[in-house]
Structure 1
Amino acid sequence: MIYPPDFKEKSILFINSGDLNENKIKFGNDNIVFLKDGKIDNRVSCHKVFAVFIVGEISITSVLIKKCLNYGISLFLLDRDFKVYGSFGAKAEGNYLLRMKQYSFDKDLVFAKQIVKNKVFNQLRLLRKRKILPKEEYYISKKAIFAKIDVAKDNQELLGLEGSRQKDFYGLYFKDLGWYKRMPRTKVDEYNLLLDMGYTFLFNYCDSLLRLYGFDTYKGFYHKLFFQRKSLSCDIMEPFRCIIDHCLLKSFQLKQIDKKDFKIIKGRYFLDFQKNQKYAEIFLQAIGDCKEEIFKFIYGFYRAILKDSALLPVFKI
């Protein structure tokens, strides 16, 4: 178990294996050690790391895996398209009391409505901050959307409301980007590709925290059971998607996104492997800036399940 004061000092590491000629990472003296040309290039204390994302081919020692698990560090292995193909995560599977509560949970729709409200709330806040929504219209929209969510009869109706609202949000918020539409994993343009990347990091970050408490991340309350889908992690990340959305727009405004970094193969956009780290660091920094808020939300969710509470925490961007 980890608590807020301890988590404050934790960080996320991103490793692009293309930067290391011999592609080796090992453990030494309570440190994660990076090797370049057979020599130690850098090291970081295991006490200060929560998750490590590794992109590309790399050699990892069994000692490193064992020590990472002992220190509560999650390792994620990603291919060059940022799809996770393997992970070693710190978890508390023995927390049977929590899982009994989770499996017998009977407030699925109640929690689902709160999650969707929190997501919509943050989308409206982003639009308000950009002055796309005037103050009066912001409150009118919030009241109207929340009223529709309150009377939703089931998850399918809720999913429809969320999808409609999200489509409108993307069109308004990303207007300056020449936004087409959101198409996950299709790589139809640079911005969809970057959103996929950011959401992947966010999803795995939330999943790591949930497993740290002992949750079965395949059992959700909004996204229902589906083969090999971590439905609970999908649920919990929803209020935090705004972090990635805001980060993408901010990067565009700061001219950090260079279209020359991308290449098109058979109509699909790909990020040049040497540029992976540039964009990964942008998104991981954004997640890191909100890490305490994300942790507190998931800790609050953990407490709500144990106490059989009907109220979830609220995240505000």
Structure 2
Amino acid sequence: MMSTRDFECKQIAFVFTSKGEKISFKNDNLLIQDEEGKVKHQSTCYRLFILFICGDYCITSGILDRASKFGFNIVLMSPNLRITKILPSKAEGNVLLRRRQYEFEGTALAAHVISNKIHNQNFLLKKKRNKTEDEKEAIKKLEQFEKDVLKDNLSVQEIMGIEGISAKLYFQTLFKAHNWTARRPRAKQDITNCLMDIGYTILFNVINALLEMYGFDVYVGILHTQFFHRKSLVCDLEEPFRPIIDAALIKAMNLGQVNEKDFWKNNEQFILPWKNSAKYVELFIRAIMEYKNEIFIYLQSYYRAFMRNKNANDFPIFEMEEEN
């Protein structure tokens, strides 16, 4: 399996075929050219981890052969960044791992993951200078929720209840200055939710690719219940890392880098046209790549702890850093 040193060199490439960009390969190097034929990106396939293709594209045996040979994932997306197909590079036949997944019981590990998420959410709130009394009160409440979710013998419903209350308080505090109403995935009721969906989607696919690499059944979660075509385990283990996207988004908004003119509204939904999407995709990929080693080590440690039947307290914790 991939080592930490190997993963340090891995890259994520994003191609917008709807903008006229083209993919080609030369001596096992990936080339991405713009519509004028200028090379936008060039890297060896050995360093490629995920190739996102946004827009219409014909998959050939050549690209599939290289994905198999070099172990990179392909994610096909529509021009509005909706996932249409994921072609993962995955480990086959890890029977022992999957047996343990199917036989796994208990909620302590789920609580551990959600407590980690709340901790990182609170980290972002604590970073703000000159906090109001309401913000200070929100921080205190999240600190308590972080502890409450770890109480013994909580049900999945109780854990999700604490997570939901924490998330509501966190979002309305973090985005208070930006006319926040509520978090509604895929509803795209405002620009913040629209961009959040994009960032979470990219993060989701990074987590998915790493879990597939170890041979997990990504449809079997520890918190999210099994549901047809939902990758519940990816949803679960994405949770502690979501604040990476939130941090990148709130920073961009505070710096005036999010332009309302980049969006258009249709049927009460905000849409980001493909011609304006590249800068926001780059924003989120850059944020994820800053933490890519920590994400890899977390999931590597999760796999090892799961295989060794460790207690919840022995599973990894991801903590955001002040300088990132």
Q: Given the two structures, how large is their TM-score scaled by the length of structure 2?
A: 0.91
What's the counterpart of residue 119 of structure 1? 117
Structure 2, unaligned runs of 5 or more: none
User: Could you list the per-position Cα deviations for residues 171-216 of structure 1 after superposition, in whole angstroms to 9, with x for gaps in the alignment?
Assistant: 0001111111111111111110000000000111100000011111
Please tell me whether residue 88 in structure 1 is matched to residue 91 in structure 2. no
Change (3 A) 1:120 1:152: farther
What's the counterpart of residue 59 of structure 2? 60
Change (3 A) 1:214 1:193: same
What's the counterpart of residue 309 of structure 2? 308
Please tell me whether residue 47 in structure 1 is matched to residue 50 in structure 2. no
Change (3 A) 1:241 1:144: closer
Tell me by how many angstroms 1:61 deviates.
2.3
Change (3 A) 1:77 1:148: closer
For residues 287 and 56 of structure 1, the distance between their equivalents in structure 2, rounded to whole angstroms, comes to 22
Q: Given the two structures, how large is their TM-score scaled by the length of structure 1?
A: 0.93
What's the counterpart of residue 217 of structure 1? 218
Aligned residues: 313
Aligned Cα RMSD in Å?
A: 1.9
What's the counterpart of residue 282 of structure 1? 283
For residues 157 and 61 of structure 1, the distance between their equivalents in structure 2, rounded to whole angstroms, comes to 48
SS at match of 1:188: coil
Checking the alignment, whether the CA contact within 8 Å between 2:108 and 2:150 is kept in structure 1 is: no
Checking the alignment, whether the CA contact within 8 Å between 1:16 and 1:276 is kept in structure 2 is: no
Aligned 1:138-287 pairs, distance under 5 A: 138=139, 141-143=142-144, 145-151=146-152, 153-287=154-288
Tell me by how many angstroms 1:101 deviates.
2.2
Checking the alignment, whether the CA contact within 8 Å between 1:187 and 1:269 is kept in structure 2 is: yes
Change (3 A) 1:100 1:246: same
The one-letter amino acid of 1:17's match is: T
What's the counterpart of residue 8 of structure 2? 8
For residues 286 and 38 of structure 1, the distance between their equivalents in structure 2, rounded to whole angstroms, comes to 29
Checking the alignment, whether the CA contact within 8 Å between 2:12 and 2:50 is kept in structure 1 is: yes
For residues 116 and 79 of structure 2, the distance between their equivalents in structure 1, rounded to whole angstroms, comes to 33
Change (3 A) 1:89 1:141: closer
SS at match of 2:251: helix
Tell me by how many angstroms 1:273 deviates.
1.4
Change (3 A) 1:146 1:27: same
For residues 44 and 142 of structure 2, the distance between their equivalents in structure 1, rounded to whole angstroms, comes to 47
SS at match of 2:238: helix
Checking the alignment, whether the CA contact within 8 Å between 1:218 and 1:228 is kept in structure 2 is: yes
Change (3 A) 1:9 1:77: same
For residues 145 and 38 of structure 1, the distance between their equivalents in structure 2, rounded to whole angstroms, comes to 52
For residues 207 and 296 of structure 2, the distance between their equivalents in structure 1, rounded to whole angstroms, comes to 8
The one-letter amino acid of 1:15's match is: V
What's the counterpart of residue 98 of structure 1? 97
User: Could you list the per-position Cα deviations for residues 238-275 of structure 1 after superposition, in whole angstroms to 9, with x for gaps in the alignment?
Assistant: 00000011111001112110111000112211112111
For residues 37 and 144 of structure 1, the distance between their equivalents in structure 2, rounded to whole angstroms, comes to 51
Tell me by how many angstroms 1:33 deviates.
2.5
Checking the alignment, whether the CA contact within 8 Å between 2:190 and 2:269 is kept in structure 1 is: yes
For residues 283 and 303 of structure 2, the distance between their equivalents in structure 1, rounded to whole angstroms, comes to 29
The one-letter amino acid of 1:184's match is: P
For residues 171 and 245 of structure 1, the distance between their equivalents in structure 2, rounded to whole angstroms, comes to 12
SS at match of 1:150: coil
